[in-house]
Structure 1
Amino acid sequence: MGTLVGHVAPGFAFFALGFWHLFNHIRLHFLHPNSYTSSPWFPTSKLRYLELFLIMVGSSISISMELFIGPESHQPFDPDGTIPSNHLHNFEHSSISTTFFIYAAFAILLDKISPKAKYSLTQFLGAVAFAQQLLLFHLHSADHMGVEGQYHLLLQSAIVVSLFTTLMGIGLPKSFIVSFIRSLSILYQGVWLIVMGYMLWTPELIPKGCFIHSEEGHQVVRCSSDEALHRAKSLVNIQFSWTLIAITIFAMSFYLVLVKLYGEHAEYSTLTKEEDLELEEDSDDVESQKESKRGEPTNFIQMGKGYAVMDIER
């Protein structure tokens, strides 16, 4: 993962997954505003488990790249069977991918075997995957103090949001805002991974006073002085802030676009229900008026009969 492609490829996968969930949650909320219920994954019309299959394929490719294709010897171990220091991060990244593979595989099995418990258990598996991701990035064997460490530190904030909203989704399956934020946090992870890939492994984009240096088999960004390092970290913070602003604008704009596409249908359904209620009220008023009209002659006749009796008695 310590390359441009190693960050951009999984970043695009997270972005696509987050965008897919964001679109489906907004669409589902507009189509069923009163009965909206979140879903941990979304089937497609032609292939029900396409999303989960793609997660499994992507995770398998990531594991293969980290442990077998990426290393020069095409295997991650030393001749004595131990893990060399320069391959520790490969095992960390592959462990994250393995957890996401397990999530997708069991999500399929739960959908087939246990439909009643599939939602809560699938959400739990998703939370485990994000917890694993957070743990290994927080305790990453790569540099924690340099520019790359600052990128990883800020990435963890997005992972924390994904983790907590997934856990909240277990108890709040009907909350649209929880699903919306979770989808957006997954999308944000992807965008930030792509930004990391280009900013850390493109020589023209390295901050002033810093340079790319090869250490333990992979390239890292080093700075010539503490002042240059402080400036580089500040630039990373500004990038994160600008990215957050851009993602927020994108999310709100995307929501408003879908309002025009699906909002009219939701409004039509609401108006139809209101019209039905009005018709029922009107029908009640008509019936009451009919009853009152029917009652008036009867009361008049009874009153007439009463006066006639009184006259006879006189």
Structure 2
Amino acid sequence: MGSFRGHALPGTLFLLVGVWHLWSCLVRYVSNPKSYRVRVWHPVPGFNGKLKHLELYVIAVGAFIDMCIELLYSPHLTIFVNGVLNPRHMNDFEHSGMLLMFFIFGAVTLLSVKTSFLPLPEGALCLIAAAAFSSEYLLFYFHSTSHKGLEGYYHLLLVLLVGVCIASILAGTILPDSFPADLCSGAAIALQGLWFYQTAFVLYGPMMPEGCRLKGNDIVCRSTESETRGELLANFQLFGQVLGVLSLAVAFYWFAARRFGHSELQSLLMSEEEGLD
């Protein structure tokens, strides 16, 4: 069982990074579509380069802080009991392991781009990012906390979104000039952040479906019909978020094309349309 803050904090990090990825890859594409390359991270322009690596610092520092909360604060520093890991907080230790992978990704990427100690190609960095999302996928799929009923359904949809993140990043690794793969990656990360928030508001906040309630550490519904209605509501919520992220991407593209669009963009799109005809 989780908590509102336990879902809102990682949701904020995923949402910020995902929206930034969406905007950045669209700006890079409209600026120079022919030389577009997939990037696993996107530098922040301006400010004399002082904020260039802000995204990587957000990932590394955010993951480290959240990892410390899960590993140290949540179990109240009682990590070992009778020589073994505290069985009452196994889910916190699992979360900290997942966050460690994202911290490693942020730290390794910073070392790669800022120093000469660990120069890695973009494809290798993409694989490290995919490994971090894979650890998240395995965590939620084989969680020691038994997610059942309505809670399990929300986490099942979360697992599907994590799977899309993995697939899109791997696609970008295999096809390093694929704009759709890069765009899908940003959208999937943003959707994952939104779904963390949705789960927090539904299971631990004011949006609990009628007929279901939080009882102790479990979500219980008074009937099968109430649970089914809650699952159908989850489907509708996910559809609304997908539609919202797609609308945001279209709005970003329209604005970026008007402000940063390269002269070759229109001719490239016209040539692609003629090829389809």
Q: Same fold (TM over 0.5)?
A: yes
Given the alignment of the two structures, is residue 100 of structure 1 paired with residue 102 of structure 2, yes or no?
yes
Once residues 233 and 51 of structure 2 are traced to their aligned partners in structure 1, the CA distance between those partners, rounded to angstroms, is: 44
User: 1:173-192 counterparts in 2 under 5 A?
Assistant: 173-192=176-195
8 Å CA contact 1:67–1:75 kept in 2: the answer is: no
Structure 2 portions without partners, runs of 5+? 268-277
Structure 1 portions without partners, runs of 5+? 272-314
How far apart are 1:83 and its partner, in Å? Answer: 2.6
8 Å CA contact 2:130–2:170 kept in 1: the answer is: yes
Q: What is the DSSP-based 3-state SS (H/G/I as helix, E as strand, rest coil) of the residue aligned with 2:85?
A: coil
Larger C-alpha radius of gyration, 1 or 2? 1
Quick one: which of 250, 256, 259 aligns to 1:258?
256
Aligned equivalent of 1:29: 29
CA-based RMSD: 2.0
Once residues 69 and 40 of structure 1 are traced to their aligned partners in structure 2, the CA distance between those partners, rounded to angstroms, is: 31
Given the alignment of the two structures, is residue 6 of structure 1 paired with residue 6 of structure 2, yes or no?
yes
Once residues 245 and 264 of structure 2 are traced to their aligned partners in structure 1, the CA distance between those partners, rounded to angstroms, is: 31
Aligned equivalent of 2:245: 247
Quick one: which of 109, 112, 117 aligns to 2:111?
109
User: 1:216-295 counterparts in 2 under 5 A?
Assistant: 220-263=218-261, 266-267=262-263
Query: Structure 1 residues 88 and 66, CA, compared in 2 at 3 Å: closer, same or farther?
Result: same
How far apart are 1:11 and its partner, in Å? Answer: 0.5
Aligned equivalent of 1:306: none
Query: Structure 1 residues 161 and 115, CA, compared in 2 at 3 Å: closer, same or farther?
Result: same
Quick one: which of 154, 158, 162 aligns to 1:159?
162
How far apart are 1:163 and its partner, in Å? Answer: 0.3
Aligned equivalent of 1:70: 74
Q: What is the DSSP-based 3-state SS (H/G/I as helix, E as strand, rest coil) of the residue aligned with 1:47?
A: coil
Between 1 and 2, higher relative CO (CA 8 Å, sep ≥ 6) is seen in 2
8 Å CA contact 1:15–1:189 kept in 2: the answer is: yes
Find runs of 4+ consecutive structure 1 residues off by over 6 angstroms.
268-271
Given the alignment of the two structures, is residue 54 of structure 1 paired with residue 52 of structure 2, yes or no?
no
Once residues 110 and 247 of structure 1 are traced to their aligned partners in structure 2, the CA distance between those partners, rounded to angstroms, is: 31
Aligned equivalent of 2:207: 205
8 Å CA contact 1:107–1:118 kept in 2: the answer is: no
Query: Structure 1 residues 116 and 130, CA, compared in 2 at 3 Å: closer, same or farther?
Result: same
Q: Deviations over 1:167-200 (max 9, x none)?
A: 1111211111110010110011001111111111
Letter in 1 for 2:231: K
How far apart are 1:145 and its partner, in Å? Answer: 2.1
Query: Structure 1 residues 177 and 269, CA, compared in 2 at 3 Å: closer, same or farther?
Result: closer
Given the alignment of the two structures, is residue 122 of structure 1 paired with residue 125 of structure 2, yes or no?
yes
Once residues 230 and 76 of structure 1 are traced to their aligned partners in structure 2, the CA distance between those partners, rounded to angstroms, is: 38
Once residues 97 and 207 of structure 2 are traced to their aligned partners in structure 1, the CA distance between those partners, rounded to angstroms, is: 30
User: Which TM-score applies when normalising by structure 1?
Assistant: 0.78
Letter in 1 for 2:242: L
Q: How many residues align?
A: 262
Query: Structure 1 residues 250 and 35, CA, compared in 2 at 3 Å: closer, same or farther?
Result: same
How far apart are 1:59 and its partner, in Å? Answer: 0.9
